Structure 1
Amino acid sequence: MKQIDYIIVGDGYAGLFFAHQLIKNNKSFAIFSEGRKSASQVSAGIINPVVLKKFTTFWKAQEQIDFLKDTLLEIESYTGENYLINSPIHRIFHDENEQNLWLKKSDNEELLSFLDKNFDHLDVVKNDFNTGKVNQSARLQVSGFFMGLFDFLEKKELLIKEKFDYGKLETSSATYKDLQFKHMVFCEGMGVTENPFFSDIAVNPNKGHHIKVKLSEAIPEDITIKKKHFLFPTDNGLYFYGGTYDREQLHHHIDESAVAQLVNGLSEIYPYDFEVEEVNFGFRPTVKDRRPIIGRHETFKNLYVFNGLGARGILNGCYFSKSLYQFIEENIPLHEEVSVNRFK
Structure 2
Amino acid sequence: MENVDYIIVGDGYAGLFFAHQLIKNKKSFVLFSEGKKSASQVSAGIINPVVLKKFTTFWKAQEQIDFLKNALGEIESYTGKNYLIEDPIHRVFHDENEQNLWLKKSKNEDLQYFLNDDFKHLEIVNNPFNTGKVNQSARLDVNNFFADLFTYFAHHSHLIKEKFDYSQLNTIESIYKNISYKNILFCEGMGVKDNPFFSDIAVIPNKGHHIKVRLSKPIPENITIKKKHFLFPTHNGLFFYGGTYDREQLHHHIDDSAVEQLVKGLSEVYPYDFEVAEVNFGFRPTVKDRRPIIGRHHQNKNLYVFNGLGARGILNGCYFSRSLFEFIENDIPLDEEIDLKRFM
User: TM-score if structure 2 supplies the norm length?
Assistant: 1.00
Aligned equivalents of 1:49, 1:77: Cα separation in 2 = 26
Equivalence map 1:275-294=2 (5 Å):
275-294=275-294
Alignment-derived partner of residue 242 in structure 1:
242
Confirm whether residue 334 of structure 1 aligns to residue 334 of structure 2. yes
Q: Where do 1:125-204 residues align within 5 Å?
A: 125-204=125-204
Amino acid at match of 2:166: Y
Counterparts of residues 15-26 of structure 1 (less than 5 Å): 15-26=15-26
1:221 and 1:202 map into 2 onto residues whose CA distance is 40
Root mean square deviation, CA, Å: 0.3
Q: Give the secondary-structure state (helix, strand or coil) at the position aligned to 2:237.
A: coil
SS at match of 2:211: strand
- For 2:236, what is the secondary structure of its paired residue? coil
Partner residue in 2 for 1:219: 219
Which residue of structure 1 aligns with residue 64 of structure 2?
64
What fraction of aligned residue pairs are identical, expressed as a percent? Answer: 76
SS at match of 2:301: coil
Matching of residues 74-89 of structure 1 within 5 Å: 74-89=74-89
Residue pairs, 1:83-122, within 5 angstroms: 83-122=83-122
Cα deviation, 1:257-290, whole Å, max 9, x if unaligned, reads 0000000000001000000000000000000001
- After TM superposition, the runs of 4+ consecutive aligned structure 1 residues lying more than 3 A away are none
2:55 counterpart of 1:55:
yes
* Distance in 1 (alpha carbons) for counterparts of 2:54 and 2:228: 13
Q: How far, CA to CA, are the matches of 2:327 and 2:34 in structure 1?
A: 27
Once residues 236 and 209 of structure 1 are traced to their aligned partners in structure 2, the CA distance between those partners, rounded to angstroms, is 20
- What displacement does 1:221 show? 1.9
Shift of 1:220: 1.2
What count of residue pairs does the alignment treat as equivalent? 344
Number of the residue aligned with 2:12: 12
Deviations 1:193-248 (A, max 9, x none): 00000000000100000000000000012000000000000021000000000000
Q: CA–CA distance in 1 between the matches of 2:56 and 2:248? A: 27
Cα deviation for residue 123 of structure 1 reads 0.2
AA aligned to 2:127 is N
Residue 168 of structure 1 aligns to which amino acid in structure 2?
A: Q
Structure 1 residues 38-65: Cα deviation after superposition (integer angstroms, max 9, x where no partner): 0000000000000000000000000000
Give the Cα–Cα distance (whole angstroms) in 2 for the partners of residues 186 and 28 of structure 1: 16
Partner of 2:32: 32
Distance across 2 between alignment mates of 1:21 and 1:125 = 41
CA distance in 2, matches of 1:158, 1:269: 44
CA distance in 2, matches of 1:54, 1:287: 20
Residues 125-157 of structure 1, C-alpha deviations (whole Å, 9 max, x = no match): 000000000000000000000001000000001
Following superposition of structure 1 onto structure 2, how do residues 254-333 of structure 1 map, counting pairs within 5 Å? Answer: 254-333=254-333
Q: For the residues of structure 1 that align with 2:151 and 2:110, how far apart are their CA atoms?
A: 39
Partner SS state of residue 3, structure 2: strand
For structure 2, list consecutive stretches of 5 or more residues without a partner in the other structure.
Answer: none
Residues 86-115 of structure 1 deviation map (CA, whole Å, 9 limit, x = unaligned): 000000000000000000000000000000
Question: What TM-score results when the alignment is normalised by the length of structure 1?
Answer: 1.00
- State the alpha-carbon separation in 2 of the partners of residues 3 and 185 from structure 1: 15
Q: Give the structure 2 partner of residue 209 of structure 1.
A: 209
